[in-house]
């Protein structure tokens, strides 16, 4: 099965940035990513504006997207209220998320693991478009520490989603753990994805390990936008352009225009007024100096 690269920069990236960008600018980012050839973009999350001002005006972002054929536009929801909002939009895919541990769900969604699981199951049952279920903190939890892979695999088996994504939300995993959990969840017979953060510099090795273990969806964020909400000084998602450089170097065709991604990160750097985490946009995509 072909690899689907999903850019989560407009969502996971910007959600964890100190700056709040206007909906029109966030839509412009989505449009630039689509033009660069990303097959999937997580454009927004439907959360409360007062809780997450960076994601305010999700509907405005969606309305300003210039849809391109062949690009799948996804939105993230945490609960039924979010799903009701997504349902009113033309987004192609709903990504519903929960944590793998009780403590994470209590801190993030005000629910026990059992309640969060039931909530996700209800949304998946009602969904009127393709679904992804993302299991956060699948490799380690900022409140409970190491996470039992058996618990994650058991949880994945319960969720009636079209696709399952395993998230290393706090960037603690090493490749062998990623490989083994992807293989285990893959045995359920559904497409499996990996969402890696580069908090401890293992993100790219983990993405490659996930791919080798049979993952067909990889999340990444343009420029490495974002952070780790549980380690305020840490870096965020793996950078899309760095991942594309790595994959193409390994002979994996991504269909994404690396030069176009580099241009987007340069644009973002100016917009945010700081150097981004991604390295390829600073080094240049080509090994020949200009
Ligand atoms: Zn993330």
Told to judge if 6 belongs to the known catalytic residues of this protein, a careful annotator would answer no
Across 228-242, average pLDDT? 86
**What is the Å distance from ligand 1's center to 82 Cα?**
18
Whether the per-residue pLDDT at 230 is higher than 80: the answer is no
Residue 72, CB half-sphere, CA atoms under 13 Å: how many?
Answer: 18
Q: What is the pLDDT of residue 248?
A: 96
29 has a pLDDT exceeding 90: yes
For residue 290, name the pLDDT band (cuts at 50, 70, 90).
Answer: low
91 belongs to a structural domain: yes
Rounded to the nearest whole angstrom, what is the distance from the C-alpha of residue 55 to the centroid of ligand 1? 14
145-154 long-range Cβ contacts below 8 angstroms, 24+ apart: 147/100, 147/101, 149/177, 149/180, 149/181, 149/184, 151/100, 151/101, 152/100, 152/181, 152/185, 153/181, 153/184, 153/185
How far is ligand 1, taken at its centre, from the CA of residue 40, in Å? Answer: 15
The answer to whether residues 89 and 135 touch, using CB atoms and an 8 Å cutoff, is no
Instruction: Give the chain's mean pLDDT.
Output: 95
Residue 1 reports pLDDT greater than 70: no
Residue 19 scores a pLDDT above 90 = no
Beta bridge partners of 192: 164
Rounded CA gap, 102 and 273, in Å?
A: 38
| Total tally of structural domains belonging to the chain | 1
Compute the distance between CA of residue 107 and CA of residue 69 in angstroms, rounded to an integer.
39
How far apart are the CA of 290 and the centre of ligand 1, in A? Answer: 34
The answer as to whether 216 is a domain residue is yes
**Mean pLDDT value of segment 124-137:** 97
290: in domain: no
| Position 286 in a domain | no
pLDDT at residue 17 in the model: 86
For tokens 């660069």, the residue is 36
Pairing mode of beta strands 227-228, 231-235: antiparallel
Give the range of the structural domain holding residue 160, as residue numbers without chain letter: 4-281
180-211: pLDDT as tens digits: 999 999 999 999 999 999 999 999 999 999 99
Q: Average pLDDT in the 284-289 region?
A: 81
What CA–CA distances, in Å, run from 61 to 56, 69, 73, 266? 9, 18, 11, 22
Q: What's the confidence (pLDDT) of residue 35?
A: 98
- Judge whether 289 lies within some domain: no
Contact between 49 and 81 under an 8 Å Cβ cutoff? The reply is: no
> By C-alpha distance, which of 20, 40, 19 is closest to 30?
40
CA–centroid distance, 52 to ligand 1, in Å, is: 15
pLDDT given at position 160: 97
pLDDT of res. 190: 97
How far is residue 65's CA from residue 82's CA, in Å, rounded to a whole number? 19
pLDDT of residue 285: 84
Tell me whether residue 287 is in a domain: no
Inside any domain, residue 288? no
Q: Taking Cα atoms as reference points, which of 281, 223, 212, 287 lies closest to residue 251?
A: 212
Q: How far is the C-alpha of 153 from the C-alpha of 8, rounded, in Å? A: 24
pTM here is 0.96
CATH number, domain at 182?
A: 3.20.20.70
Annotated catalytic residue within 5, 228, 244, 262: 228
pLDDT tens-digit series, residues 150-188: 999 999 999 999 999 999 999 999 999 999 999 999 999
Rounded to an integer, the average pLDDT of 218-236 is 87
41-92 residue pLDDT tens: 999 999 998 889 999 999 999 999 999 999 999 999 999 999 999 999 999 9
Higher per-residue confidence, 1 vs 125: 125
């Amino acid at each position: 099965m072909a690899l689907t690269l999903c850019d989560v920069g407009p969502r996971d990236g910007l959600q964890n940035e100190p700056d709040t960008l206007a909906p029109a600018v966030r839509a412009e980012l989505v449009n630039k990513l689509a033009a660069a050839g990303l097959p999937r973009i997580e454009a927004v999350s439907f959360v409360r504006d007062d809780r997450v001002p960076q994601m305010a005006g999700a509907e405005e972002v969606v309305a300003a997207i210039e849809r391109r054929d062949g690009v799948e536009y996804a939105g993230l929801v945490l609960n039924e209220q979010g799903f009701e909002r997504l349902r009113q939009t033309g987004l192609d895919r709903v990504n519903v998320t929960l944590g793998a541990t009780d403590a994470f769900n209590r801190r993030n969604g005000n629910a026990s693991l059992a309640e969060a699981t039931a909530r996700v199951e209800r949304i998946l049952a009602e969904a009127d478009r393709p679904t992804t279920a993302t299991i956060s903190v699948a490799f380690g939890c900022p409140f409970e520490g190491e996470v039992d892979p058996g618990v994650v695999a058991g949880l994945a088996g319960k969720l009636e989603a079209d696709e399952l994504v395993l998230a290393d939300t706090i960037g603690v995993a090493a490749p062998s753990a990623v490989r083994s959990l992807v293989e285990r969840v893959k045995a359920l017979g559904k497409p499996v994805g990996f969402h890696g953060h580069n908090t401890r510099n293992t993100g790219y090795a983990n993405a490659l390990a996930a791919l080798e273990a049979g993952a067909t969806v990889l999340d990444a964020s343009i420029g490495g936008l974002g952070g780790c909400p549980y380690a305020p000084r840490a870096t965020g998602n793996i950078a899309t352009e760095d991942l594309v450089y790595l994959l193409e170097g390994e002979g994996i065709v991504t269909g994404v225009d690396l030069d176009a991604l580099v241009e987007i990160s340069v644009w973002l750097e100016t917009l945010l007024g700081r150097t981004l985490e991604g390295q390829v946009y600073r080094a240049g995509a080509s090994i020949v100096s200009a």
